[in-house]
Each structure stands twice: as C-alpha cells, then as structure tokens.
Structure 1
Amino acid sequence: SQKWKIQPQDQWVARWKRAQDCWRRGDKVVKLIGYDASPAESRRYAHREGHVSERFDYRYPLREWGWDRARCAQRIREEGLPVPIKSACWLCAAQKVDELRSLPRWCLRLIVLVEARAAPRLRTVEGLWRSSTAARPGSMTAYIRDQVLLDPEEIDAIIVGAPVELVDFQRVAAAIPVEERPIMRDWIERFNREATKLAA
C-alpha cells in the first residue's frame, strides 16, 4: 500500500495547486481514508491509527459512521448503482478464488502471461499464489486451466508464444531512444487482440 497507493497519491497531491495553497497558509490537507468498520478493516486501521504527517490530517468517515462492507454495499444499491468488485490488483497474491473467477478475460490472459514469463526462474513458489492450499493451487494459471476460465488452447498459446514475443518487444524497445519507444500498453493491447481472435 505504501509504495503503490500512498506514495503515488501523495506525489499527485504535492503537484495540486489547491494543496500547495493550503500548505502555504500553514494548513494541512485532509485525506479521507476508506477503511470501513469491519473487523478486517479495523486491523488495517490499527496499523495506521495515530499516524502523524506534517502535510495531512486523516479522517475515516466509514469508521466514524460505523459502516462495514455490507452497509457500504447496501448504500450503493440504494442509489441504484452496481456494487463494484473489491478494489485490488488482479495480480495480487492475496486474491481470493472468487475474485479471480470474477475477472474479465483480458486480466486472466495477463495472469497467464506473467506466470509464464516468470516460470523459468521460479524455485520456491508455484506461481502468483505461491504455494498450493486445499482450496487452490499455487499457480493462478493452473486454477484458470482447471476451472476452464480460458480455453486450454488459448492458455497453451500464451505460455508458448507470449513470453518470447514480450522479451523481443522489450529488447527492441530498449535499443530505441526513450522518447521514441513504443509503450507497453500498445504491446498488451495487441496481445489481447490476438488472444481474442485465437479464442473465437
């Protein structure tokens, strides 16, 4: 969270004129943190509770209101909106089986690619989930295959071809001046287009 959530947000706020004006006045920017009042979130909150910053004051409105995740979902439904899936990286090792099952196909393809690219170097773990448990294998790809979340032929094609193509793309890009380099998003979009055609 510190590296991938807090630091990028702090960097963005540091460039925000309203925040800069606030700090010039000697005030602090108020950050609203979305920890809810459930036991799991209370553990996360306890880790951050009492954190003091020169630039920010922190408030936890869901905790102030006593709302847990179910109450948040209820309020979203009351507004006629769909309840979003859990906000988490779809490559997260802490991802649950039902969360993986809810992912769109393009995420599943990239999971297969990431594990295939890493496979030659893995020594102590099976994949993104690390080690097998009674509920699932250590490899998300193995679960995707077992549950037929992607066609087996598509998985095999990704494993055989995509890591090589990705390395080739990176090798070529590394030889080009930074300002002229193709961006990774372009490669990923092409990868997904080709995988979609293969699956059709």
Structure 2
Amino acid sequence: MNVVSFGGGTNSTAMIIGMYLHKIPVDLILFADTGGEQPHTYEFIRVFNAWLEKHGLPKITPVFYTDKDGNRLTLEEECFRSHTLPSIAYGFKKCSLKHKIGTQEKFCNHYPPCVEVWKSGCRVNKYIGYDAGETRRIQHAAAIDEVDKKYEKHYPLYEWGWDRAECVRVIERAGLPKPGKSSCYFCPSMKKKEIQALWENNPELFQRAVDMEHNAADSLTSIKGLGRKWSWESYHDEFIEAQELEKAQLTFDDLFPEAPGGCLCGAPCGCYDG
C-alpha cells in the first residue's frame, strides 16, 4: 500500500510525477486541507487532478480536521473562535500537527486498505517529498522513522538526487504550471513579498488576515501580529505610506527643467552660493 503525502507545492508534485515515470505504484494521494489554502493551490489541484486522471493515477483525496461531533473545523475558524493566531506565530507547530499530519493519520486509521496492511503485520509505505537539498530534515526524521511501526517512510526525490531546480524542470516537462508556494493565506511564515502579493492579488483574503489580527489583539502579549514582531496591517500601512511619499517626491529636474542635473548656477552639486 503506497500512500503519498501531497503538500500542494513543487516537491510533492514532482515526486508524484517521478513515481509515475519510475513506475512506482500510487494507491492513495492525501492532501490535508486547512480550509485556508492559497487560491492558487486549490486551482493547481484542479489542474493536477486532470493530469493524474489522464495518466491513470488516483485523484487527490482531501482530508480535513473535524471536531468531536464530526463537523469540519477549519484553521481559520479555530483562530477566530479562540481569539488567537496560528500557533506558529507563537513559535509552535500545533496547527501543522493538528490540521496537516493529524488529519492524514486519522484518515488512514479508518481507510480499509491501510487497516488490512496493518492487520497482516506489515507497514504502509508513505512517500514524502523532501528533495536532495534537505539532508538535515531526512536525518532528523531518521530516528523517528526507524521506530515507526505503522509506516515505512520513503524519500524518492532525495534518492533520485532531485533538487528544487530539477523538481521545477520535471513539472515543466510534464506540461504542468508551477504550483506556487503552498501555505495558508494567513501563515505567519510568509515572507514580506508574499504578503504584498496577497494584498495585491487577493485583497479580500488579506483583509481576513488583518481581521484575524484584530480579533486576537486582546490576547497578544509577546507578539504584535502575524509577523510576530510586527503586524501585517502595520507592514501594509507603512509600505503604502512609503510608496505614496516616494511618488510625491519632486526631483530638482522636475522643479527646474531649465537646469537639468544641478543648480540654476550650473553647479552639479547644488550647493554653490557664489
């Protein structure tokens, strides 16, 4: 039983394509959906599913967190209900363990083919997309993998020597668009350029992230917002203010077009006083 952990990004996409090229069977592809993934991730999954179907591979199976009553609870809903930010903003990885790893575990625990493998005394093969440049992650996981009684972990990208650049090339050769970075739209790990892209391309989602900061404001003590030491709202406002100030600046040449490049007296430094 071969289960693939699909993260929605470049590495896991290239890994699935590589498994197809290497004729490694794929029985199940799981994608843990927090409910707040970036729009480009959901769109890529739609495109990739068509590619998978065309090549005789199983479509991606989305899994998600449910509460004790069996109702879906997205990470965004959880944050708003608890008046907090994603745990990674505070330096923890609870959101990933709960909404990513935990949901896949729970699904497999109730998935008959996996249960049958375990009943037979064997382990389920789990394929993870760590590339050739992620030696430390694989080394860190080695001790845990060795004692895992349920799963035998495989890192094919590492075994094939595929680094990030090769993963991109594999995806392009398969005729697929680049997946883009996979993350929640309100992820505290996003870089400033990614936050800027969010407010430019998806302003409604950026506003939701700001609303999340406002909603959690009264509970924040050691951090200021999704940027940890700064809030996304303050970064946005300061960026826009600086941009508007720059646009408002008039150069000397604008003010005195008859004396380009210096003072009216002709001095290039602009400080000649006669």
Instruction: Identify whether the pair has TM-score above 0.5, normalized to the shorter chain.
Output: yes
Name 1:10's counterpart in structure 2: 105
- Structure number with the bigger relative contact order (C-alpha 8 A, sep ≥ 6) is 2
**What is the aligned residue count?**
140
Distance (Å, rounded) in 1 between the aligned partners of 2:153 and 2:162: 17
Name 1:61's counterpart in structure 2: 156
Deviations 1:16-50 (A, max 9, x none): 11101111211111000111122xx3332222123
How does 1:73-152 map onto structure 2 within 5 Å? 73-103=168-198, 104-131=202-229, 138-148=230-240
Match of 2:135 among 42, 45, 48: 42
Normalised by the length of structure 2, the TM-score is 0.47
Q: Is the 8 A contact 1:92 1:128 kept in 2?
A: yes
Deviations 1:136-184 (A, max 9, x none): xx11122233445xxxxxxxxxxxxxxxxxxxxxxxxxxxxxxxxxxxx
Q: Offset at 1:105? A: 2.8
Q: Which amino acid aligns with 1:7?
A: G
- Can you give the 5+ residue segments of structure 1 that lack an aligned partner in the other structure? 132-137, 149-200
Deviations 1:84-131 (A, max 9, x none): 122223322221122223333333122111111112332322211111
| Counterpart secondary structure, 1:30 | strand
Question: Highest Rg: 1 or 2?
Answer: 2
- Can you give the 5+ residue segments of structure 2 that lack an aligned partner in the other structure? 1-95, 241-274
| Counterpart secondary structure, 1:85 | coil
Q: Which amino acid aligns with 1:112?
A: V
Name 1:198's counterpart in structure 2: none
Off by >4 Å, runs of 4+ in structure 1: none
How does 1:182-193 map onto structure 2 within 5 Å? none
Normalised by the length of structure 1, the TM-score is 0.63
Q: Is the 8 A contact 1:108 1:144 kept in 2?
A: no
Distance (Å, rounded) in 1 between the aligned partners of 2:222 and 2:125: 43
Distance (Å, rounded) in 2 between the aligned partners of 1:90 and 1:46: 30
| Counterpart secondary structure, 1:86 | coil
- The structure whose residues are more often helix, as a share, is 1
